[in-house]
A and B are shown apart, each in its own frame.
Chain A
Amino acid sequence: QQPVQSPQAVILREGEDAVINCSSSKALYSVHWYRQKHGEAPVFLMILLKGGEQKGHEKISASFNEKKQQSSLYLTASQLSYSGTYFCGTENVAAGKSTFGDGTTLTVKP
């Protein structure tokens, strides 16, 4: 069962912050985040393996709450280059395979 991402879309001005959430009904052992720009392949951002662990990539960070089976991606002081569709991928104990959410489209305007 695929994870659920929210919101589906968000529009920001440069310098503003955003949070993208990813939740699953299955017990997870890892969450990974990707960004895909229009016409390009998804690019790996980060992976979270432990409950509550936060990782960072430039001004993008993420947390993983293993108990709540949720992960959040935090984009601070957004830049034009952050525009794209963000996907979370989850690996659960039962399935052992990666399942992706439907994506969150982020648009950063000047």
Chain B
Amino acid sequence: KAGVTQTPRYLIKTRGQQVTLSCSPISGHRSVSWYQQTPGQGLQFLFEYFSETQRNKGNFPGRFSGRQFSNSRSEMNVSTLELGDSALYLCASLPHTSGEQFFGPGTRLTVL
């Protein structure tokens, strides 16, 4: 079974720009969660989608948004990028709405 894929793997943007990251979950998994990982901050929960509906949202500003499509693929968007948005963005897929999570390789975003 193919694992979770994320594209792109690396991204360099400048302040003020916007970015869209994509995540394709494991086939059959309907739940996708997004996390931001920075050194010293661990994994910070961004949001979770299940069957195209956002189930939970973390404590991030409205510049961070996401969506999920009918094929369970998910995208997250960050508008008006700030230097502090530089991080590894991980998505994880779950077979249901809880339990073990299968992480993708992440997208490393650098904001200059």
Interface of A is mostly: strand
Beyond the given A87-B43, A97-B55, A98-B101, could you list 19 further A-B residue pairs with CB under 8 A, ordered by the A residue number?
Answer: A32-B101, A41-B90, A41-B104, A41-B105, A41-B106, A42-B43, A42-B90, A44-B101, A44-B102, A47-B100, A89-B43, A89-B101, A91-B98, A97-B33, A97-B58, A98-B48, A100-B35, A100-B42, A100-B45
Question: Which B positions have Cβ atoms within 8 angstroms of A?
Answer: 33, 35, 40-45, 48, 55-56, 58, 90, 97-106
* Contact in complex: B45, A99 (CB < 8 Å): yes
Chain A residues within an 8 Å CB radius of B55: 96-97
- B42, A96: Cβ atoms closer than 8 Å: no
B26 to chain A, nearest CB (A): 12
Give the size of the chain A interface in residues (CB under 8 angstroms): 22
Cβ contacts A to B, 5 pairs, < 8 Å: A32-B99, A34-B101, A40-B105, A42-B43, A102-B40
- A41-B90, A97-B56 known; A87 and B99 CB under 8 Å? no
